[in-house]
Amino acid sequence: MMAPQKRSAAEAESLLVGVKCIVVDIEGTTTPITFVKDKLYPYVSDNLESYLKETYDEAETKKDITALRELAKKDKEESVEGAVEIPDAAAGKEEVIKGVVANVRWQMDNDRKSTELKQLQGHIWRQAYESGTLKGELFEDCAPMLRMLSEEGFMLYTYSSGSVESQKLLFANSSEGDLTEVFSGFFDTSVGQKTDPNSYKNIAKEINDDKPADEILFLTDSPEEAEAAVAAGWRSALVIRPGNADLTDEHLQNFACIEQFDELYGDEDEEDIKRMHQEDNGEAEEEDEEEVDEDEEEENEEEEGEGDGDDA
């Protein structure tokens, strides 16, 4: 991975100055890409057919299938290469399920981010989270920093290609506990695609009303998404994480780049953040006691030294 150019302290400090709302991407920003690619997606592939057979007659699944069928028809009409159609309900349960499985796997193989696909995926993941089969994975710095930002009055939101339900499930069932309470809202592609500036304008209308758009900071691993946010008047910073795609020199120069959320506060706050982490781990008090003991030892040594001098 290409290392980001070191930002100056002034640049680092400016990331939160004037910001009231922070919107975070998920995959590659708060959550490792490997969790999505190696755990979430395979779970859908492995359990898709059995899930559809089990829930076929439920209203939620019928709605999911209808949405996917309509998308497939649209893809065919637009001559999308490789598009897989889904039979009408009259074809029978078995044929419909075969069609849905083929369509979903085609979309996933092509890394499509359709709202219809994400909706079904979210419902399948719900079963896994509720059964304890899956636990949402976060980068180590995320949970403490998200809680800290929330406590300091920043309004936090997510914007991800995954459905709102799947986002809530990930943070509610994370390895760091339930984090949904730190967020004021969740957004998915129902507001628009993540590379479309209008999507960010739509979000701004909901979270910031008539206030300036530059009070919103967007954190993402995608330069294309960052550019769209900036085009909508937002601020944006690129988050560089293990496993993410390499950034070009141009991207590194055009955007502030951080490797951890701690860096949002700038260099001068690093000690405060470090202390915050230590307090969470019960380490700060121990270090303070050690420092007091060291000070007392130094004072005693000085007094003994002065006494020796007098005796001489």
pLDDT reported for residue 208? 79
- Per residue in 241-280, pLDDT (tens digit) is 999 999 999 999 999 999 999 999 876 444 444 444 444 4
174/137 Cα distance (integer angstroms): 6
Q: Which of 186, 171, 172, 181 is nearest to 150 (CA)?
A: 181
CB 160 within 8 A of CB 31: no
The reply to whether 88 sits in an annotated binding site is no
Q: Region 212-232: what's the mean pLDDT?
A: 97
The reply to whether 109 sits in an annotated binding site is no
276/281 Cα distance (integer angstroms): 9
pLDDT band, very low/low/confident/very high, at 9 (cuts 50, 70, 90): very low
Higher pLDDT, 220 or 5: 220
The reply to whether 25 sits in an annotated binding site is yes
- Per residue in 193-214, pLDDT (tens digit) is 999 999 999 999 999 777 899 9
pLDDT reported for residue 300? 56
pLDDT reported for residue 209? 74
- Per residue in 42-63, pLDDT (tens digit) is 999 999 999 999 999 999 999 9
98/42 Cα distance (integer angstroms): 18
- Per residue in 153-195, pLDDT (tens digit) is 999 999 999 999 999 999 999 999 999 999 999 999 999 999 9
Higher pLDDT, 11 or 36: 36
pLDDT reported for residue 13? 56
Give kind and range of the element (H or E) at residue 11: helix 9-13
Distances (CA, A) of 59 to 52, 55, 93, 233, 239: 12, 9, 14, 40, 39
- Please give the domain boundaries of the chain with CATH numbers for all domains: 21-31+136-270 (3.40.50.1000), 34-131 (1.10.720.60)
pLDDT band, very low/low/confident/very high, at 297 (cuts 50, 70, 90): low
pLDDT band, very low/low/confident/very high, at 1 (cuts 50, 70, 90): very low
